[in-house]
Amino acid sequence: MTELAEIVFRNGGKVYSFDPAGLGLCVGDQVIVRTSRGIELGKVVVANHGVPESEIVAPLQKVVRIASSSDLAAAERNEKLAGRAAQVCEEKIQEYGLEMRLISTEVVFDGSKIVLSFFSEDRVDFRRLVEDLAKKFRTRIEFRQVGVRDEARLIGGYGPCGRKMCCTMFAGDQQPVSIKMAKDQNLSLNPMKISGICGRLMCCLKYEHECYRDFKERAPRKGVPVRTGQGEGTVVDYCVPREMVMIDIGEGRQIEASLDEITPPLQDKGENEGGGRRDRRRRR
């Protein structure tokens, strides 16, 4: 077992695993960690816990230290600087008439760079904007053009299910979401019902797809006759989250049964006769 701590960098943001490096971390602790972007300030959301080595995704970064009062003061200054940079950027976007929408502004922990994320349908020439901001704040300026999914993730919000949007909660692998996933889950193909706030197919289709595919591989097909403890019937529907199948046992009665309560599908007479005819044709 390897000891890990779970840390976030934005409220409602993705959760990342770190090696606590021998520190006794508690939920709510502010910590300084080293990431691919450099030194950052994060918050512990899951205290130290053991995880099997087979479940660890390398490389695993270490927690540098628990944040001091000076670290927290620096983070507060960065937040104020990010607010001023966003205001100036918005003014310059209007002044230059640029077709872009500023989404978020962030100052890296050591103050060496200001990162501004924006959305635009087309390519944007923001060279003058970068020059103006660099002169104004005397630091490196980086613009990142993001898509509608990233825009929704950065802004945050709640999905149709009433929970926080998946893209803000889980560190995904950027696997695309396809309409086939909705078909495999027997969902309505109405775009209004399977699209998220970003206007694209909902991320939860991707997260739940493997569960539906695995269940359907193990469950009898719809229309297949089966035996249950309450009699014989025909499979008419699935309840995948509970791993149950709906069975019509006749006379307007339907029951739910788990896969353990179902015996292998029955072969009716027509199927046996058909199989025999096919065998005879092959023998000829």
Assess whether pLDDT exceeds 90 at residue 262: no
Assess whether pLDDT exceeds 50 at residue 215: yes
* Mean pLDDT to the nearest integer, 61-80: 94
Residue 282 lies in a domain: no
pLDDT-derived band at 12, boundaries 50, 70, 90: low
pLDDT-derived band at 25, boundaries 50, 70, 90: very high
pLDDT given for residue 174 in this prediction: 55
Residue 52 lies in a domain: yes
Residue 277 lies in a domain: no
Burial code (b: 16+ CB inside 10 Å, e: under 16) for 241-267 equals eeebbbbbbeeeeebebeeebbeebee
Does residue 225 share a domain with residue 210?
A: no
CATH, residue 256: 2.30.30
Residue 276 lies in a domain: no
d(CA 129, CA 140): 12
pLDDT given for residue 260 in this prediction: 86
Strands 231-239 and 244-250: antiparallel
Domain carrying residue 243: 221-269
Does residue 128 share a domain with residue 110?
A: yes
pLDDT given for residue 132 in this prediction: 95
Assess whether pLDDT exceeds 70 at residue 51: yes
pLDDT tens for 124-158 read 899 999 999 999 999 999 999 988 877 787 777 88
pLDDT given for residue 138 in this prediction: 92
Residue 152 lies in a domain: no
- Number of separate domains in the chain: 4
Does residue 79 share a domain with residue 142?
A: yes
